[in-house]
Amino acid sequence: MRPFDTLTLMQFLWAFLAILGFSIRVNLKGVKIVYTALSGGLCWVFYLIALYYSNSVLFSVFVSIILVCIYSEIVAPRLRTPVSVFVTCAIIPLVPGRGLFQSMQLYIAGNNIEASQSIMQTLLIAGTISIAIAVVSSATNLLHKMLNRF
Amino acid sequence: MQKLNAKQATELALEVGRILLQSGSATNRVEKMMLKVCAGFGYPNTESFVTPTGIFISLNDTEGDISTSIKRIENRRIDLGKITRVSRLVNCLEEQDCPEGRTNMDARKFREELNQIDVEKTWPTWLLSLCGGATSGFFCLLFGGAWMEFAIAVFIGIVVSYGMKFLSRLSINNFLLNALAAALIVFIAKLLDLYIPYVRLDNIIIGGIMLLVPGLSITNAIRDTMSGDLVSGTARGMEALFITVGVVAGSGSMLKIWALWGF
């Protein structure tokens, strides 16, 4: 799939609407809903684009989570909202629900080798998401400290 | 800014901490907010220690009197709206001039606003369920589902949202709740599959499962660990792991039961 065509736009729309529903489910109100939904949609689109150019799932997850965390760090203070609220909604499309289900199916089918491969992949994606969030939040802390110093 | 006596200040701080922690905030943020409340009402030397299931706070008076309180937290449910509003309120206390014009807030007004946030209504149940349906359906489309599968996933999302509302009223633990919800997803999907031809179950079930994955616990675990709260970081990580295992166990056993049934 080439990036920047109608299919990517449609995928963006699905992710946007899914996170829109999710943010109402966790009881957000007002204009924040649109911005969190936007972060979810952007997260998925960044992932697709990075996947097209790099062909590596983990790298794409890393890049897209970092970009979307930077987006949250910029937008959240403007709306006077904690950053973690934004990050929580933004990472949902990349949380490996599909990998989890597939490894479970393989495991039930008695296909142990493929199942452990799939579990490993799922764990790696979850770990990558954690590392990306940690990198951005630490970098932001450092930046704020340096700005206060000078 | 007036100075309260230690008992009232502790009570206000505990109330702020309770609301934040029950709505699923990171413990690091709860500690910071409670310190801000105490400093705002005249107690700058305060120590607090927060875990996901309890709050410890200790106020240090200038005369050397120390008053300590403990609060046990139960009934946790995700509510990012409350976190936002409490954070705004507490930040107003610190900044003095905020856009909404609440300068020099006194304790009575602070408590009133806090109570208002606490009892504030969430969205109505039908809207929450509809949004559950929308989330599940659009995730199904996102992972490559067709329109028929979208319709089934929306139906499943709505039923599961109502089901979880009902189950959480029975106050069963988190593991069982997620396992039962996942089993319900697989059961309805398999049941509808009998009557509707040419649907792929994978996309539908994955769309439903995305409602249950512990995104908030993962985020909190990372943020807590990075800010040095190793105890709460580990606890949140275990919470995420247990929810995940619950989802997998529930859906897996239902799939196996259905396979043994012989359809």
Q: Suggest the residue from B76, B79, B84, B160 to mutate for an interface test with chain A (most A CBs closer than 10 A).
A: B84
Determine the angle formed by the axes of helices A6-25 and A32-54, rounding to 10 degrees: 140
Distance from CA of A5 to the nearest CA of B (A): 15
Provide φ and ψ at B47, rounded to 5°. Answer: -115, 140
Whether residue B81 and residue A28 make contact (CB cut-off 8 A), yes or no, is: yes
Whether residue B252 and residue A84 make contact (CB cut-off 8 A), yes or no, is: no
Whether residue B244 and residue A138 make contact (CB cut-off 8 A), yes or no, is: no
**Has residue A18 got a pLDDT over 90?**
yes
Which residue from B138, B215, B220 is facing A95, i.e. has the nearest CB? B215
Whether residue B91 and residue A80 make contact (CB cut-off 8 A), yes or no, is: yes
Cβ(B57)–Cβ(B68) below 8 Å:
yes
Which residues share a beta bridge with B71? B55
Which residue from B209, B225, B255 is facing A108, i.e. has the nearest CB? B255
> Residue A95, SS3?
coil
All residues of chain A having their beta carbon less than 8 Å from the beta carbon of residue B133 are 21
Higher pLDDT, B223 or B179: B179
Cβ(B32)–Cβ(B49) below 8 Å:
no
Only one residue has tokens 């039962």, namely: B180
Q: What is the mean pLDDT of residues B168-195?
A: 89
Number of domains in chain A: 1
Provide φ and ψ at A87, rounded to 5°. Answer: -65, -40
pLDDT at A84: 87
pLDDT tens for residues B42-83? 888 888 999 988 999 998 887 778 888 999 988 778 888 899
**Has residue B103 got a pLDDT over 80?**
no
pLDDT tens for residues B113-157? 888 888 888 888 899 999 999 999 999 999 888 889 999 999 999
B105: confidence class by pLDDT, cuts 50, 70, 90:
low
Cα–Cα dist B106/A27, whole Å: 28
| Window from A139-148, B91-100, B212-221 with minimum mean pLDDT | B91-100
Distance from CA of B108 to the nearest CA of A (A): 24
Cβ(B213)–Cβ(A91) below 8 Å:
no
Residue B12 neighbours by CB distance under 10 Å: 21
Whether residue B213 and residue A130 make contact (CB cut-off 8 A), yes or no, is: no
Strand ranges, E, within chain B: 46-51, 54-60, 66-72
- Listed in sequence order, the residues at least 6 apart from A114 whose beta carbon sits closer than 8 Å to its beta carbon are A106
All residues of chain A having their beta carbon less than 8 Å from the beta carbon of residue B215 are 88-89, 91-92, 95
Which residue from B91, B131, B218 is facing A24, i.e. has the nearest CB? B131
Mean pLDDT across chain A, nearest whole number? 90
Q: What is the mean pLDDT of residues A101-117?
A: 90
pLDDT tens for residues A76-107? 988 888 888 899 889 999 988 888 888 988 98
Domain ranges, ordered by start, for chain B? 6-119, 125-261
Provide φ and ψ at A8, rounded to 5°. Answer: -60, -40
Cα–Cα dist A26/B25, whole Å: 12
ipTM of the complex: 0.91
**Has residue A139 got a pLDDT over 80?**
yes
B23-52 residues touching A, CB cutoff 8 A? 25-26, 29
Residue A92: DSSP 8-state:
G
* Domain assignment of residue A1, yes or no: no
Tell me which residue range forms the domain holding A48. 6-149
